[in-house]
Homo-oligomer: A and B are copies of this chain.
């Protein structure tokens, strides 16, 4: 059973029509956004119960649930064929291990207009409740595809007509100087190690963010924001 906690994740879950079994609200908690949750839950026939805060702490695994916890069906993965080749922008992650980072990338990708995020099945975090929370509701809207083999998936995407741009510290081209060909895939590496060598070989272009200062890389969700919103800016022009 999946647990959503916090006002934004529960609210977005309700708005997106995600199947929820029950919503628990801490006794004494109040506010317009909690009231909105209660109203939406009643309209969706999801039962709402008021319980002691300690019970919510235990269910959420943290006291940072803002007085609301929802129990529902676990998040499902999508198939590549459900999202491609229709999506003009896809994000492929080559081994992100931190659930906060995965959640933040999902939130960022959705905000930049991506059609899906692809994650590897092994040596990477999957869709956990921490990811759902860090995605701040975006997981309700953005399909996530789990790939058995990232390199095989990149080949399939190429066959569908996608151009593959890999983000790499030593990439030969600046992300600001590229004429992005649509449909576009951005591939990003995990924390600390960047893209695997074989994954790099599957990219059409290796792209670099020019860095000031002494640190070689950005957090993966920040790097995603920088390149995806540059892609978006170009489309808007």
Contact = CB atoms under 8 A, between A and B. Distances in A.
B104 A215 contact: no
Copies in the complex: 2
Nearest to A16: B214
Contacts of A229: 209, 226, 230
A12 interface: yes
Residue of A12, A176, A211, A215 ringed by the most chain B CB atoms within 10 A:
A215
Contact of A212 (B113, B211, B214): B113
A142 interface: yes
A222 B100 contact: no
B111 A218 contact: yes
Given A222-B104, A226-B229, A137 B215 contact: yes
A42 interface: no
A210 interface: yes
B141 A111 contact: no
Interface in A77-125: 100, 104, 107-108, 110-113
A236 interface: yes
Contact of A213 (B113, B134, B192): B113
A48 to B, nearest CB: 22
Interface of A: 8, 12, 15-16, 100, 104, 107-108, 110-113, 134, 136-138, 140-142, 176, 192, 209-215, 217-219, 221-226, 229-230, 232-233, 236
15 contacts: A104-B221, A104-B222, A108-B222, A110-B212, A138-B213, A141-B214, A142-B213, A176-B233, A210-B232, A219-B221, A222-B222, A222-B225, A223-B225, A225-B225, A230-B233
